[in-house]
A and B are shown apart, each in its own frame.
Chain A
Amino acid sequence: MSVANSHETDTPRPIDGRTDFPPVYRASLADRFRRFLSPDSVITDDETIRPYECDGLSMYCEMPQMVLLPETVEQVQQIMRICHAEEVPVVARGAGTGLSAGAMPHAGGIVLSLARFNRILSIDPQARSARLQPGVRNLAISEAAARHGLYYGPDPSSQIACTIGGNVAENSGGVHCLKYGLTVHNLLSVEVVTAEGERVTIGSDGYDSCGMDLLALMTGSEGLLGIVTEVQVKLLPKPEVAQVVMAGFDTVQAAGAAVAGIIGHGIIPGGLEMMDGFAIQAAEDFAHAGYPTDAAALLLCEVDGTEEEVHDHIHQAESLFRALGATSVRTSGSEEERALLWKGRKSAFPAVGRISPDYYCMDGTIPRSQLAHVLTEMQRLSDHYGLRVANVFHAGDGNLHPLILFDANVEGEFERTEAFGGDILNLCVAVGGSITGEHGVGMEKIRQMPNQFGNLEVSQFHAIKQAFDTLGILNPGKGVPTLRQCQEYRAIGPLRQPDVAQAGEAHHG
C-alpha cells in the first residue's frame, strides 16, 4: 500500500512545509554522485531499492529515485551540497526499524543510508562517554561498554537492530526512561551535516553549552533539521543488582493505584511496566514465564541500584502491592528468573503477532491518573470497531502501546485499524497526553498532529525547520503537517464515530 504525497496546491512557504519539488533526472543525478561515491554506493535499480521502500511501519511505502550509501562525512557533505543546489528531497535512514514511517522515502528524492557509518570511534571509561558513528546499533554500545562496567541507558525494544543515529532522530526511550531518561538526556554532542552541507558539532564533552539548546532541538527532530554523522553519548555504571517484582491484580484500576502507590512512596523504579489481561495471556502462551493468566492486569516493577537499596525497595514494593490488593506477588530470586519475568513483556509484540495475522502498535502517552479511563474508553472503541486490542504500558512514564489486532487481507480492515488507532491517539490528547511518546510522528501521525497543536504552533514549527533547512529538502512531508492538512484533518474532527453497522459488515465480510 502506498500513501500519496499531497503534491498539489498548498499554502506557499515560508510559513508552511514544502510539497513542490523540481523534477529529478535520475540518470544524470546518479552520475554526479558516482563521481565521488563508489559504484555500489549509488543504487538506482528498482530491485535493489525495494528493501528501502519502507521502515518498520511497512503499511507506508514509497519508491525513491535512488539510495545512496556514503562512507565518509565528506561524502555526506557533498551529497547535501548537490541536493541543496538541485532542491532534491533527502530522507536519512539508519536501520529502518522506525515505527512511524519517518524513513519512508520521498518519491522525488533520495534515501541517504547511514548504514556504513557503523564504527564505535572511542570509549572513554574514565569520562564515561562513547563517540559513535550514527549507524552503530544501540545494543552494541552497551556490549562494548560492558568491559568497563558501563552501559548506555535508553533501551528501545528494537535495540538489537536500531541505530544510535535513528535514536537521536526519534528521541527513543525504552523501559527504563522514568529513572534514566530518553535519548535527549543521555547525549553529550552530535555532529551534524546541515542541509547546505556544512559540518558542525552541537554540544561538547561537557554537560552544558552556551546559547540556546540546539542539542535538545535536534533530538527527536526526525531527520527534518540535519543529518547526524556522529554521536557522543553518556555511559552509566552498571547497577550492582536489579530485581523485579511481578504483581497480578483483579482490575486495571487496582494496578494503576499500585503504580501511584510505589511512586508516592518515593521509589523510582528502573522499570515499571503494565500489561492487560489479553496481553498477559498472549505473552504467557508464548514465553511461559509463569504469568498469572487469571489477572486483569500485571505489573513488572524492577528496582536497581546497590545491594542495600534494592533489598530495601523490593521489600517495600512487595508489601505495598499486597496492601493494595495484589492477587499474586512474585520476586525474582536470580538473574535467570529476572530474565524470565521480563521475557514475557519483551516478547509481548511477537506473542500478539502469533495470535493475529497483523497487529498495529500505537504509541500514545497519558497522565497515569487517566489510565483506567483511557483503558475503559479503548475497550468501548474496540467493541465499536470490531477489532481486538492488547495493551502493554510503560506505566512509570505514562506511555501506552496498544496493539490493535487485524488482518490486512480482509478488505478495509487496515483502514478501520488506522481509524481506531487515530481515535486512541486523539483520546490521549483529550486527557492531556501526547500522540507519541517515543515512536515519532513521521508520516503516520501527521493526521493527529492538528489535534495536539494549533495553527500557531504548527507555523512556529515550520519556521524552526526553515532556520535549518531554508529550501525544505530534509525529509519533507513528515513530522509536521502543512496548514492545509491541519484544516482538512480538523474538519474530520477528533474522535470520529464511524458507522457501526458498516464497520461490522466490513469485519465479517
Chain B
Amino acid sequence: MGDISQQLAEQVKQAAETGTALAITGGGSKPFLGRGLRGQPLSLAEHTGIVSYEPVELVMTARAGTRLADIDAVLAENNQRLAFEPPRFGDTDTIGGTLAANLSGPGRPWQGSVRDHVLGLRLINGRGEHLKFGGQVMKNVAGYDASRLQAGALGTLGVITEVSLKVLPLPAMEQTLVQPMAQQQAIDTMNQLAGQPKPLSAACWYDGHLYLRLSGAATAVEATAKRWVADSGGEMNVLEDGEAFWRDLRDQRLSFFSGSEPLWRFSVNPTAALEELGERTLIDWGGAQRWSRQDESLSVMAERAARAGGQVSLFCHGDRSGEVMHPQPSPLRTIQKRLKAAFDPNGIFNPGHLYSWL
C-alpha cells in the first residue's frame, strides 16, 4: 500500500522531455483490450490503498492501482458494494483500469456504469502535472467533467492516480429466474419487463434461455418472482445458484466466452433485432449489450451496429493491428485528437492504443 504518485509524475515528466511513449498498466488483467500497448511500462500496480471511505456518505476514494478485490472486502464489511459490478478478468483487476476501460457488469442499465459512479479523480497529464477534478460529493458541476471523460479513454489522456466513487448498500435480497426462450422473444420480454416498475436488476439471454435477476427488499423480490413465475404458466423457474451465473457472466467465464474466435461487443438499442449476428450471440443489459463470436471485418460489424442504433468494438481476439473500435465521425475524431493534445501534448500516453490516429 502506498502513494507513488510523485514518482509517477517524475517518470511522466522525463518521458515528456525525451518524447518516450509510455504504456500505462495496472494489474495487467486486461492485456487483450485495445490495439495493444507499446512503450516504456508505467505501472500503477504499487500505487494502491483506500485513501478514504465514509460508509454513511456513500463515498470511497482509492488509489488507481487498488485491486477490486480489496475494495470489495472493505465495502462488504459495511454491507456495501460497487453497484456497477465491475468485471474481473483475473485476481488483479484495479479500479483505475476498470474506469479507463469503462467496464461495467450485468446491472449496468439499472444501476449505471462505472462512469456514472465516478465523483472525481486525480490524474497526471502529459506535462507531469498532477491534477484534481470533481470531488467526493454526489453533486458537483463546477468546471468541466474531466473525471467521467476518462471512462473509455484507455489511458490516452493521462495517468489516473486516484478515483472517488459513489458506493451503495448491498441489496437485501436477490433472486434469479430462468426460462427457455427463443432470442427474439427474449429481447421483447426483457424490454417489456424493464418497462414495469419492478425490482429487475439484470436481464440476459444465453444458450436458449432468458435469465432475469431481481434485487431489493425481500418482500418486493419475492412478490415479483412469484408473480412472474405464475404469469409464465410454469415455464419460468427460480435458479438456485443465480449469484454464480451472474458472476460468470460478468467475468466472462461462461463457455460462450472461451476459445479464440473474435469476440465482438455491441452497444445498441435494447430492442434491436440484430438477426444478422446469428445464434452465436449472448444478450446482456436487457438487450442493450450483445456479444457475438464471428470472424468478420470491423466495417461490416460497424454497419450492423449503426443500423441497430449503436456501436461495436472488437473486444478481444481477432486482428488487433487494425482498428478495434467503432469508427468516429470526422468532427469527433478532430475533437478527440485535440483533446488528446490538450492533455498530452507530446503524445506519450498509450499511443495508438484506442485508435491508430490517437
A residues with a Cβ closer than 8 A to B are 124-128, 148-150, 170-171, 173, 177-178, 181-182, 184-185, 194, 196, 198, 200-202, 204-214, 216-217, 219-221, 224-225, 237-240, 260, 263-264, 266-268, 305-306, 308-309, 311-313, 365-369, 394, 396-399, 432-441, 445, 449, 452-454, 456-457, 460-461, 463-468, 470, 479-480
B217, A313: Cβ atoms closer than 8 Å: yes
Interface hub of B196, B270, B272, B325 (most chain A Cβ within 10 A): B270
26 contacts between A and B (CB under 8 A): A127-B270, A128-B195, A171-B141, A178-B138, A204-B309, A206-B270, A209-B311, A210-B326, A211-B152, A211-B332, A213-B102, A216-B115, A239-B197, A240-B197, A260-B56, A305-B217, A369-B56, A398-B138, A433-B140, A440-B141, A449-B143, A452-B143, A461-B146, A463-B342, A464-B339, A466-B338
**Nearest CB in chain A to that of B127: its residue:** A456
Interfacial chain B residues near A171, Cβ < 8 Å: 141, 145
Picked from A184, A266, A464, the residue with its CB within 8 Å of the CB of B79 is A266
Tell me the smallest distance from the CB of B96 to a CB of chain A, in Å: 15
| Interface size range of chain B in the complex | 35 or more
Instruction: Give, as a whole number of angstroms, the nearest-CB distance from A441 to chain B.
Output: 6
A211 lies within 8 A of B354 (CB): yes
On whether the beta carbons of A264 and B56 are closer than 8 Å, the reply is yes
**Contact of B332 with A217 in the complex, beta carbons under 8 Å:** no
Query: Contacts A128-B194, A237-B196, A266-B79 known; A205 to B217 CB distance under 8 Å?
Result: no
> Which of B144, B199, B224, B288 sits near A217, CB closer than 8 Å?
B144
Nearest B-chain residue to A182, judged by Cβ: B139
The docked-state distance in angstroms from the alpha carbon of A343 to that of B155 is 48
Among candidates A194, A207, A237, residue contacting B108 with C-beta atoms closer than 8 Å: A207
Alpha-carbon distance between A213 and B148 when the two chains are bound, in angstroms: 6
> Is the beta-carbon distance between A466 and B152 smaller than 8 angstroms?
no
Instruction: Say whether B342 contacts A467, CB under 8 Å.
Output: yes
CB-based contact B146/A432 at 8 Å: no
- State how many angstroms separate the Cβ of B118 from the closest Cβ of chain A: 9
Total A-B Cβ pairs within 8 A: 289
Q: With A184-B148, A209-B152 known to touch, is A369 a contact of B141 (CB < 8 Å)?
A: no
Q: Is B109 an interface residue (CB 8 A)?
A: yes
A305-B197 in contact given A207-B288, A435-B142, A466-B342 (Cβ < 8 Å): yes
Given A204-B310, A216-B115: A306 in contact with B224 (beta carbons within 8 A): yes
Whether, in the assembled complex, B267 has its beta carbon less than 8 Å from a beta carbon of chain A, the answer is yes
Contact with A along B139-181 (1 / 0, CB 8 A): 1111111101111110011000000000011101000000000
Task: Report how far A266 CA is from B198 CA in the complex, Å.
Answer: 19
What residues on A are CB-neighbors of B140 within 8 Å? 365, 433-434, 436-437
Contact pattern, B 182-220, Cβ under 8 Å of A = 1, otherwise 0:
000000000110111111000000000000000011111
Instruction: Tell which of A237, A434, A452, A457 has the most Cβ of chain B within 10 Å.
Output: A434
A contact residues around B156 at 8 Å (CB): 212
Residue from B54, B139, B170 in contact with A369 in the complex, judged by beta carbons closer than 8 Å = B54
- State whether B271 touches A213 (Cβ < 8 A): no
Asked if residues A220 and B141 are in contact (CB atoms below 8 Å), the reply is: yes
Query: B103's closest neighbor in chain A, by CB?
Result: A208
Q: Does B257 make an interface contact (CB < 8 A)?
A: no
Cα separation A209 to B305 with both chains bound (whole Å): 11
The 5 closest A-B pairs by CB, nearest first: A205-B309, A206-B310, A216-B148, A206-B267, A437-B139
Which residue in chain A gives the minimum CB-CB distance to B140? A434
Inter-chain contacts of B195 with A (CB < 8 A): 125-126, 128, 148-150, 237
Cα A202 to Cα B326 with chains together (Å): 13
Query: Is A308 a contact partner of B148 (Cβ separation < 8 A)?
Result: no
User: Is A202 a contact partner of B332 (Cβ separation < 8 A)?
Assistant: yes
| Contacts A266-B170, A306-B198; A214 near B56 (Cβ below 8 A) | no
CB pair A200–B329 under 8 Å, yes or no, is yes
Contact status of A217 and B152, CB under 8 A, knowing A128-B194, A208-B102: no
Chain A residues within an 8 Å CB radius of B332: 200, 202, 211, 214
Query: Looking at the complex, which one of B133, B196, B289, B339 makes contact with A207 (CB distance below 8 Å)?
Result: B289
* A452: B residues at CB distance < 8 A: 142-143
Residues of A close to B169: CB separation below 8 A:
263, 266-268
User: B223: which A residues are within 8 A, CB to CB?
Assistant: 306, 308
Q: Which residues of A contact B216 (CB under 8 A)?
A: 305-306, 309
Encode B116-143 as 1/0 by CB contact (under 8 A) with A.
1000000001000101110111111111
